[in-house]
Amino acid sequence: MAKRQGVDPGRYSGAPAQKRHGQVIIYTTAWCPACKHAKAYLAQRKVAFIERDVEKSRDHLTEMLQKSGGAAGVPVIDVRGTILRGFNPRAIEQAFAQ
């Protein structure tokens, strides 16, 4: 089951920042330091995101592999269809700007 983090989704629904950022999905594992940094970065900027742990769900792993062109490293971040591999704050901001 996907876990929503970052902000309270009930309060966040329809907020201007949500409209600006759109849907963000982050594929992670529990042990990944870069995943923790990416989630903290998004939460600090009040970006709602859906977390999908690829070790807990084969479906999430398959989805991540399809989106990332077969790259198995985490995190993989999907910003409204723009796929980012690894944690790169500049790339995240560029994806939001598109």
pLDDT recorded at residue 12: 36
The per-residue pLDDT for range 22-57, each reduced to its tens digit, is 799 999 999 999 999 999 999 999 999 999 999 999
CATH architecture of structural domain 21-97: 3-Layer(aba) Sandwich (3.40)
DSSP letter for each residue of 21-36: H--EEEEE-TT-HHHH
pLDDT recorded at residue 64: 98
The per-residue pLDDT for range 54-90, each reduced to its tens digit, is 999 999 999 999 999 999 999 999 999 999 999 999 9
Q: Domain-by-domain residue ranges, the chain?
A: 21-97
pLDDT recorded at residue 98: 87
pTM: 0.79
| Contact indicator for 24, 49 with CB cutoff of 8 Å | yes
